[in-house]
Structure 1
Amino acid sequence: MNSNKQFKFVDLFAGIGGMRLGFSRPFSQCVFSSEWDKYAQKTYQINFREKPFGDINQIDPQHIPDHDLLIGGFPCQPFSTIGKREGFLHETQGSLFYKIAQILQTKKPFSFLLENVPGLVTHDKGKTFDIILKTLDSLNYDVRYSILDAALFKLPQVRERIYLVGFCREYLNERVDFMFPVGQQNDVYINQFVERNMEGYSISQHLQKSYLFKKNDGRPQIVDQNSKVKVKTFVSTYYKIQRLTGTFVRDGETGLRLLSENECKAIMGFPKDFRFPVSRTQMYRQIGNSVAVPVIHQIADRIYDVMQQ
């Protein structure tokens, strides 16, 4: 690995390409992407000019192009406890992580970054995470992980996620010098991104009275141009207008509305020119399932630093 090399990466469970945005550099090239959701594929295609491959289970790892980096935010699934134990890779069979492990075993990229919710650590009483770590170790990867909050990376959103980074020991002469970025306290708040007089995102007066404000308990979170706060973690079910998890804006025809497309982009760190050729419901789902781009970008910087040594 050296600074003159063009690094190739694959984008698995790609969603709308948030991780790809974080890893894109003049010296990098995405050589393969995979995403099964047809609506996410549309958004990915219009922004990156390529349609991701569909179900990752339908492709032989041998047919995936050679690459230096594997990146992906994989779904959290329980592992099967049925059948004879044949090593840690066998224990993950039937899960989508198993496909990642297969690709790592077959293609042996120099490094990987995997992203998931913090609950992965305690999933199935910690068994899932333990098997993941042991599987990656058995595949000869030096692995480390960290839970990072997007709020510490100049985003106006509290969003904790766990990130796992690994380096293949076959390419290392010594233990790799890699440290996760930690971020820092900052004064980037939602008020800097709230738009005025937006139309079409309004929440009806009836829904406000009968549901959102049925209790005087400080919920849901309401923001405006004066709100020096970080919003709650944006979830894929935001479109359902849930009072416990939602953040809404004091604006619009009825005095209260959903976050606009530009506001959603801002809380996740997507560029303003990123496009969503899908319904608003799908846009909210896709944003909620995506990643905090600046966090990925800083982790990518650290990984590339190691690869260029």
Structure 2
Amino acid sequence: MDEKAVVKDLKIKTKSIKKLLSVPDDFDLALLSHYHSTGNVIYSDAVGLLDKYAHLTKKVTVDDLYTQAQLSLTRSNVIPFPSPEPGTETFTFIDLFAGIGGFRMALQDLGGKCVFTSEWDKYSKQTYFANYGDYPFGDITSDEVKAHIPAEFDILCGGFPCQPFSLAGVSKKNSLGRLHGFDDEKQGNLFFHIEDILRTHRPKVFFLENVKNLVSHDKGNTFKVIRQTLLDLDYSFDPKVIDGAAFVPQHRERTFMIGFDKRVFGNDIKFSFDSVIYPDKKQAVRSIIQSEVEPKYTLTDHLWKYLKDYAQKHKEKGNGFGYGLVNLDGVTRTISARYHKDGAEILIPQDGKNPRRLTPHEAAALQGYPIWPINTKSKTRSLRIPVSDTQAYRQFGNSVVMPLIKAVGEQVVNLLQLQK
């Protein structure tokens, strides 16, 4: 029986819906939004959300519930980056460790339909929901969450958490006497949940991203374990470190890992990063700079003095630590999740004033997201930022370079289509 047909026979008062969904349960909202966007039977538990209200008087469907949730949480039922129209998608994918959807935006632009998404951070979930219309499921280590991954999909993608392998993360953990890499029980073992999903569902392709330091962490042993684990699953394994500066005005090196199912594509399958198409011309920082910026983004005299004194102290010790005052005709340093604290790694010079931080919209554009009017002419297809500046900086600092994901993804999809 068609679950959606069942829903149309149930009766609910609109006021009751609004009360229910003004502060929705995360898991229920994930079910509701995924069922709304895919219609997949694996999410049909969403129908049960209406059962307790069946005795009331007004007819409401799952679609009505979903719309009310959108209005309650985002104050809009217009999605800037919707999934392809049903039946028009050319492949399907799941979006793990989704953040704010850099993989999702890139692969949707290539004709893909996202059939499952997972992200643990509540603020990133809000940004994701506001832009794509799906509210991510939470902890991917949970059996309940994994049970809602559709049986079949073409690509598993995601930038799995990088702190255990990042240079900054390793340094911090060493200083605190904490474990890192695969010994970090909370984060390091998340890779093995990717392994579990690959083993269970056997998508045709995996497309992963991590920090540059993943390759050298623990004298290369961490990367050897990842490589051998994926090869043992009978997938190919092709990695490369790529700098996002070819696509955005930011120096951002990341490790990419692509693998194809050898049981489908044969033992000789190989992904060539040489096939990735790069832009003809690099961007300069000034291309993402807004002409009018609120005074709150300018550093206070106290903070600016602190950063200058800090840089001078380390210069005298022969260290390279310090703030990064940007050359507007060049590229920036790598933006990090701690950018909200002082903006030190990327400071924009101002005539007759202290330098300033990037605005959240500039930070989004620095990662290649479409932001009107900075880098897109479309007001309707401009990334929404529904969270505070602090959370926005964290999200963009943790994000992927979206146009780079799209460029690599285009060649992944081309090779995938050859098999179909």
TM-score bucket (shorter structure): 0.7 to 0.9
Q: CA deviation at 1:193?
A: 1.9
**Aligned counterpart, 1:204:** 300
**Is 1:75 matched with 2:141?**
no
How do 1:1-309 residues align onto structure 2 when only pairs under 5 Å count? 6-25=90-109, 27-59=111-143, 61-65=146-150, 66-76=152-162, 77=164, 78-80=181-183, 95-153=189-247, 155-173=248-266, 175-180=268-273, 181=276, 183=278, 186-199=281-294, 200-212=296-308, 215=311, 219-223=322-326, 227-241=328-342, 243=344, 246-251=345-350, 254-272=353-371, 273-309=382-418
Q: CA deviation at 1:207?
A: 1.4
Q: How far does the alpha carbon of each residue in 1:180-207 deviate from its partner, in whole angstroms, 9 at most, with x for none?
A: 1273673411012222341121210121
Q: CA deviation at 1:21?
A: 1.1
Which of the pair has more CA radius of gyration?
2
Q: CA deviation at 1:94?
A: 7.1
Q: Is the partner of 1:222 in helix, strand or coil?
A: coil
| Counterparts of 1:137 and 1:75, CA distance in 2 | 21
| Counterparts of 2:356 and 2:337, CA distance in 1 | 17
Q: Would the alpha carbon gap of residues 81 and 42 (structure 1) be closer, same or farther in structure 2, given more than 3 Å must change? A: closer
| Counterparts of 2:222 and 2:120, CA distance in 1 | 23
Q: How far does the alpha carbon of each residue in 1:87-113 deviate from its partner, in whole angstroms, 9 at most, with x for none?
A: xxxxxx970001000000000000011
> 212-221 or 6-15: which moved more?
212-221
| Counterparts of 2:239 and 2:257, CA distance in 1 | 4
Q: CA deviation at 1:294?
A: 0.9
> 29-38 or 256-265: which moved more?
256-265
| Counterparts of 1:239 and 1:202, CA distance in 2 | 13
Q: CA deviation at 1:213?
A: 5.2
Q: CA deviation at 1:144?
A: 0.3
- Normalized per residue, the structure richer in helix is 2
Q: Is the partner of 2:297 in helix, strand or coil?
A: coil
| Counterparts of 2:360 and 2:351, CA distance in 1 | 14
Contact 1:198–1:251, Cα closer than 8 Å, also in 2:
no
Contact 2:235–2:259, Cα closer than 8 Å, also in 1:
yes
Percent same amino acid at aligned positions?
Answer: 38
**Aligned counterpart, 2:21:** none
Letter of the aligned partner of 1:158 in structure 2? H
Contact 1:176–1:306, Cα closer than 8 Å, also in 2:
no
TM-score normalised over the length of structure 2:
0.65
| Counterparts of 1:49 and 1:62, CA distance in 2 | 21
Contact 1:110–1:168, Cα closer than 8 Å, also in 2:
yes
Q: CA deviation at 1:6?
A: 3.1
Q: Would the alpha carbon gap of residues 144 and 202 (structure 1) be closer, same or farther in structure 2, given more than 3 Å must change? A: same
Q: How many equivalent pairs are there?
A: 291
**RMSD value over aligned CA atoms?**
2.5
Q: CA deviation at 1:129?
A: 0.7
| Counterparts of 2:364 and 2:161, CA distance in 1 | 22
Letter of the aligned partner of 2:124 in structure 1? A
- Normalized per residue, the structure richer in strand is 1
Q: Is the partner of 1:47 in helix, strand or coil?
A: helix
Q: Would the alpha carbon gap of residues 51 and 5 (structure 1) be closer, same or farther in structure 2, given more than 3 Å must change? A: closer
Q: How far does the alpha carbon of each residue in 1:252-272 deviate from its partner, in whole angstroms, 9 at most, with x for none?
A: 995321101222122110011
Contact 2:304–2:354, Cα closer than 8 Å, also in 1:
no
Contact 1:152–1:182, Cα closer than 8 Å, also in 2:
no
Structure 1 consecutive aligned stretches of length 4 or more whose deviation exceeds 4 Å: 213-219
TM-score normalised over the length of structure 1:
0.87
Q: Would the alpha carbon gap of residues 186 and 63 (structure 1) be closer, same or farther in structure 2, given more than 3 Å must change? A: same
Contact 2:94–2:156, Cα closer than 8 Å, also in 1:
yes
Gapped regions of structure 1 (runs ≥ 5): 83-92
**Aligned counterpart, 1:90:** none
**Aligned counterpart, 2:377:** none
Q: CA deviation at 1:79?
A: 2.2
